[in-house]
Amino acid sequence: MAQNITRTLRDGILQLQINRLEKKNALTQEMYAALADGLDEAAANSSVRAVLFKGGPGAFTAGNDLKDFLEQPPRSGEAPVHRFIKTLAQSPVALVAQVEGVAVGIGTTLLLHCDMVFVAEDARLQLPFVNLALLPEAGSSYLLPKIMGHARAAELLMTGRAFDGHEALTLGIATAVVPLAELEARVAAACMRLAQQPPGALRKTKALLKSDQEQVMRQMERESRGFAECLNSAECKEALTAFLEKRPPDFSTF
């Protein structure tokens, strides 16, 4: 599945593109590992000025591939998904995201670690963890309240409802909402501007902006432990079974 992640380095920008549109760019453990490898490459290469995360028409990423998730559940902190999240959070390189279509689960939480996020008008973001009887990931239970306040973060995480690019901008998740026809050019211009900046100052500025990194990492550890516990729950079994059977889950007996 690593072939579903394309790495392209050009003019100081390392593009990590998700290429699995037949599955709405749903991510497998192998794909998470490939993304983490790309971020490691960027961190170690001083010629890389920024990393660009990109999906494809109609899908940034639909989140976890459920079949792969059930066959290889991330029960430990060493799982590829957790490696990717930690590498993402600790990346010293400027991170940019180009989002169109669905951005579910990790498709939204990874944006919280990006420095610039450009979303198309057709973007549809969602944090459906509680809907699946699971917990938030990637430090989102800390970062979302920090970005938008407790009440709005709680509503998104506790209901798991979808929201569009304009709301993402209002909430502080996105840098800009861009018409789909203009998205590619807008992102290219932003990346070019980053590539022209003095690299040392750029990385040091990012480090200052991420000065609460220890708190983020501690929260990620709490989320990871709780996530693993929830995987063994009867609630989670019902939620995932209902999803596969395409029916509403029934939590009335819990």
User: What is the structure's pLDDT at 104?
Assistant: 98
pLDDT digits (tens, 9 = 90+) for 80-119: 999 999 999 999 999 999 999 999 999 999 999 999 999 9
The size of the chain, in residues, is 254
Give the ranges where 45-179 is alpha helix by DSSP (H).
66-71, 80-89, 106-109, 140-148, 150-159, 165-171
Distance of alpha carbon 204 from alpha carbon 93, whole angstroms: 9
- HSE value, Cβ hemisphere, 13 Å, CA-based, for 85: 29
Between the two ends of the chain, the Cα-to-Cα distance in Å is 37
Contacts of 42 (CB under 8 A, 6+ apart): 14, 48, 51, 91, 93
User: What is the structure's pLDDT at 157?
Assistant: 98
What is the chain's pLDDT, residue by residue, as a tens digit (254 residues)?
468 999 999 999 999 999 999 999 999 999 999 999 999 999 999 999 999 999 989 999 999 998 888 888 777 667 899 999 999 999 999 999 999 999 999 999 999 999 999 999 999 999 999 999 999 999 999 999 999 999 999 999 999 999 999 999 999 999 999 999 999 999 999 999 999 999 999 999 999 999 999 999 999 999 999 998 998 899 999 999 998 899 999 999 88
